[in-house]
Amino acid sequence: MTEESLPERRPELRVSHEDRERVAEQLRVAAGDGRLTLEELDERLDKALSARTESELAILVRDLPAAGAELSSAPAVQAKDLVRIEVGSSSIAREGEWVVPRAMDVIVSSGTVKLDLTSAVISHGPLRIAAEVKSGNLTIVTRPGIVVDTDEVAVKSGSVKVKVPPSVAGDAPRTFLQVEVVGSVRSGKIVARPPRRGFFGWLFRRPPKY
């Protein structure tokens, strides 16, 4: 075969901003499913957002299920658009691998509501929580990569406190869930914090386990 008869090799196609964001969202979903660690997510997101060609993006997700694909062993779980929680003097907790909705209405009269996000299934972007806390407590348990914004909460005689997980200080991982809390606190509390440490964890100043 002569040089003239060789097929012309086409240059690899460049990717668009939409292509990069599509892969970035697939990586966030994989991290929410527990397929990637926070360190792996941070590293791959950096590469995805700076990728120039299709092959550079493809290598980042080649060991992950295709976007929108369902595993044969379990059906895909869809996040609800809105979940409403209302308590009087009782307690409600969402813990373990619960599916985070897109928005939540939380009304607390004198009880407690705990939203533990450390092992939750996160398959979408921001979570908006409309909270009305009268004399009870709303607690949001976080982990590195989850950022809680309470700037739009009106406080009367209660309190609002956000404690950043220790490992986020310094070189923070890329945010993969933004939690926006709005509403009001009368004489209760809204607290966002990492998991509690045991006695020995506190004694030796070990970071929380996620």
* pLDDT exceeds 90 at position 32: no
Tell me the range of 41-45, 118-122, 169-173, 184-188 where mean pLDDT is highest: 184-188
68 within domain boundaries: no
What is the residue range of 167's domain?
83-196
Torsion of CA 98, 100, 101, 105, to 10 degrees: 90
Q: How high is the pLDDT of residue 29?
A: 82
Instruction: Look at the pTM and tell me if it is higher than 0.85.
Output: no
**Domains: count for the chain:** 2
- Please check whether residues 52 and 109 belong to one and the same domain: no
- Please check whether residues 54 and 87 belong to one and the same domain: no
184 within domain boundaries: yes
Q: How high is the pLDDT of residue 154?
A: 96
67 within domain boundaries: no
Q: What residue ranges in the chain does DSSP mark as E strands?
A: 83-87, 91-94, 103-108, 112-116, 127-133, 137-141, 146-155, 159-162, 177-185, 189-193
175 within domain boundaries: yes
- Please check whether residues 100 and 140 belong to one and the same domain: yes
Q: How high is the pLDDT of residue 8?
A: 56
- Please check whether residues 40 and 110 belong to one and the same domain: no
102 within domain boundaries: yes
Provide the residue type at 156 as one letter: K
- Please check whether residues 122 and 34 belong to one and the same domain: no
State pLDDT tens for residues 63-100.
Answer: 887 754 443 344 456 789 999 999 998 999 999 889 99
- Please check whether residues 89 and 55 belong to one and the same domain: no
- Please check whether residues 150 and 57 belong to one and the same domain: no
Q: How high is the pLDDT of residue 124?
A: 79
- Please check whether residues 50 and 131 belong to one and the same domain: no
Structure tokens at 172: 């923070």
140 within domain boundaries: yes
* pLDDT exceeds 50 at position 201: no
State pLDDT tens for residues 130-140.
Answer: 999 999 999 99
Q: How many CA atoms lie within 13 A of 4 on its CB side?
A: 0
- Please check whether residues 185 and 91 belong to one and the same domain: yes
3 within domain boundaries: no
From the list 113, 162, 159, 119, the residue with the least C-alpha distance to 139 is 113
Q: How high is the pLDDT of residue 134?
A: 94
What is the rounded average pLDDT of the residues 27-48? 85
What is the rounded average pLDDT of the residues 169-190? 80
37 within domain boundaries: yes
